């Protein structure tokens, strides 16, 4: 029996401005960091859920995954809760994947202004 398990990985990034190319670039940067830090390849992926704050209108974050060549993985976009004092122009991801890593070995990724969401994690 394989020691692979289904695990969930979190990550977030922020945009400097609401622009399609910038959103694609920052979302791809986030996905690449999550995949690299956790040694994931596309075949390990089960699904990815993206959320975006209400101030993002330029594109769906899932477009970044499709443009990066992720074509067989189910993707879903949703709105993030609008909370007083929350981070502006924030894209979050929840990646479901098969991995041999234990929960303590997983490396969640928070980039740019989203680092403040998880100051307990290493960069």
Give the catalytic positions in this structure: 10, 66, 77, 80, 92, 110, 118
d(CA 113, CA 123): 12
Listed residue (78, 90, 95, 83) closest to 23, CA to CA: 90
d(CA 10, CA 57): 22
Q: What's the start-to-end Cα distance of the chain, in Å?
A: 34
């Amino acid at each position: 029996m394989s020691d692979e398990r289904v695990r969930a990985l979190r990550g977030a990034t922020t945009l400097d401005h609401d622009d399609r190319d910038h959103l694609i670039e920052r979302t791809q940067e986030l996905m690449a960091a999550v995949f690299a830090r956790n040694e994931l390849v596309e075949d390990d992926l089960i699904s990815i859920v993206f959320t975006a704050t209400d101030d993002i209108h330029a594109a769906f974050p899932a477009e970044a995954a499709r443009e990066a060549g992720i074509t067989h993985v189910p993707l879903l976009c949703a709105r993030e809760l609008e909370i007083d004092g929350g981070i502006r122009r924030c894209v979050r991801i929840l990646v479901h994947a098969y991995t041999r890593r234990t929960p303590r070995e997983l490396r969640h990724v928070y980039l740019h202004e989203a680092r403040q969401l998880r100051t307990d994690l290493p960069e």
